[in-house]
Amino acid sequence: MLSKLILINRIVLLAFHHLLFRLRLKVTSLIHRITYSPVSNPRDIVVIGASFAGYHAAYCLAHSLPTGYRVTVIEKNSHFQLTWVLSRFCAVQGHESKAFIPYGPYLAKAPGSAYRWVCDEVTAIVSDQKGNGGRVQLRSGEIIDYEYLVLATGSSATLPSRVGEESKEDGILALREEHQRLREGRNVVVIGGGPAGIELAADVKTKDPEKNVTLIHSHGTVLNSHFGMDMRQRVLNEMETLGVRVILGERPSASDETTELILSTGEKIPCDCLVKCIGQKPNSNLLSSSVSPSGHIQVRPSLQLADPSLGNVYAAGDIIDRDIIKNGRAAIEQAQIVAQNIVRQIQGKQLVTYQAQWWEGATKLTMGLKKNLVYMNDGETDMIFPMKNKREDLDSAMVWRFFGAKPYEDPE
Ligand SMILES: Cc1cc2nc3c(=O)[nH]c(=O)nc-3n(C[C@H](O)[C@H](O)[C@H](O)COP(=O)(O)OP(=O)(O)OC[C@H]3O[C@@H](n4cnc5c(N)ncnc54)[C@H](O)[C@@H]3O)c2cc1C
């Protein structure tokens, strides 16, 4: 009981800390706007990828870089793609465009000459032999020199974990096609008992209780070990209450994925709609060193790459090789450290280190259309809060506002 009270106390202190932090950010960016001056040939800090990690790193850099430097963001997608709502928008129609947040407004209050935006894909990175910088090559053929580089390329997957399309138009089409497939399926099988698989299976079943929905997971229980056993069991109970059949410890084979899957026991699971929520792949193919066997990027505590010859290259977000819950909050915290360290390195100051904070792992899982479970663990104890799920679009507007965009206005 005492440990639960301590956790509640920590949550209140955290809210206060965040308020103070936002206030400090406003004051420092105001000072920066007054002191930053444009120059004719600024030195570039290139950020590759503008999701939670890259977009926030660009925001912090554009509000803090000294005169003479500029942040250049290179992102291949036309819009910020909000992963949190993808499972929901596959199961429920009518909100697709809310998953695509227009880029731009988040940086709009920084000095115009402190940043530039390039919509393209980086196809190669060539580092200077002396480790002083390098250049990136783009799909369009353009080459951009950098003095510092931030890798925030995250991971790739298919729906419902990532959109897998670059334009908003194609992304909306992909969501609608997936929705159509799920709506027509009578025997829906979801493979993968991580958050995306759990949320999708629960949404599809609550949307149409007549469907047979089966969730198959290769391990002995759902979720990973970053979640306590109480949470993992609670999720299993919720799925049972909703009527989702959960099969654990199985990697089914398919005689024909469009009609049935076969378990190791020989049992045949009818399947006319298969969704794979497995195999997110880290986008680290631009690098030849500092890559772990899992494909993640190895970093030092300062978030510089592990390879000592790449001291001017940093990484943040899902791409980094850290045994922590990978989510938007952690990506944003890491982005802040990266931006801070680049400015410190320019100024010749000692770098700060990233230490994962307990609250970065706080997770909200939807348990069907009407309910959420919020999970928090401060290392001493964990807590699960059931909450009503009031909005079908999962409060996408909140994230739009966070990134400076007016819900749901898109000038495009
Ligand atoms: C279904 C689901 C639900 C989730 N729910 C939550 C939640 O409720 N709360 C939460 O905090 N987190 C949640 N997460 C986790 C969160 O989405 C990720 O942790 C977060 O998106 C990681 O951000 P990132 O910036 O590291 O990378 P990503 O989001 O993977 O983005 C990488 C970006 O880099 C770009 N890029 C990649 N390669 C290149 C290149 N070569 N050139 C140019 N651009 C490139 C991509 O286009 C993309 O925009 C969820 C994830 C999933 C899959």
| pLDDT for 203 beyond 70 | yes
φ, ψ of residue 332 to 5 degrees: the values are -70, -40
> Is residue 89 in contact with ligand 1, taking CB distance under 6 Å?
no
Tell me the pTM: 0.95
> Is residue 283 in contact with ligand 1, taking CB distance under 6 Å?
yes
Q: Which two tokens stand for residue 96?
A: 């697709």
Report the amino acid identity of residue 109: K
> Is residue 313 in contact with ligand 1, taking CB distance under 6 Å?
no
CA nearest to 222, candidates 209, 208, 234, 210:
234
Q: What's the pLDDT band for 140 if we cut at 50, 70, 90?
A: very high
> Is residue 54 in contact with ligand 1, taking CB distance under 6 Å?
yes
| pLDDT for 81 beyond 80 | yes
Interatomic CA distance for residues 88 and 117, integer angstroms: 30
Report the mean per-residue pLDDT for the chain: 94
Residue pair 410/100 in contact (Cβ under 8 Å)? The answer is yes
| Sheet with 212-217, side-by-side order of all strands | 245-248, 212-217, 187-191, 273-276
The pLDDT tens digits of the residues spanning 103-125 come to 999 999 999 999 999 999 999 99
DSSP characters over 340-399: HHHHHHHTTPPPP-----GGGG-EEEE-SSSEEEEEEE-SS-EEEEEEE---TTTTHHHH
Pocket of ligand 1, candidates 46, 51, 100: which has the most ligand atoms within 8 Å of its Cβ, to mutate?
51
> Is residue 214 in contact with ligand 1, taking CB distance under 6 Å?
no
Q: Which two tokens stand for residue 299?
A: 């970093």
Domains of the chain (ranges, CATH numbers): 36-76+120-157+281-360 (3.50.50.60), 177-279+363-402 (3.50.50.60)
Q: Which two tokens stand for residue 396?
A: 């996408």
Query: For residue 326, how far is its CA from the centre of ligand 1 (angstroms)?
Result: 9
Q: What's the pLDDT band for 256 if we cut at 50, 70, 90?
A: low
> Is residue 192 in contact with ligand 1, taking CB distance under 6 Å?
no
The pLDDT tens digits of the residues spanning 375-405 come to 999 888 899 999 998 899 999 999 999 999 9
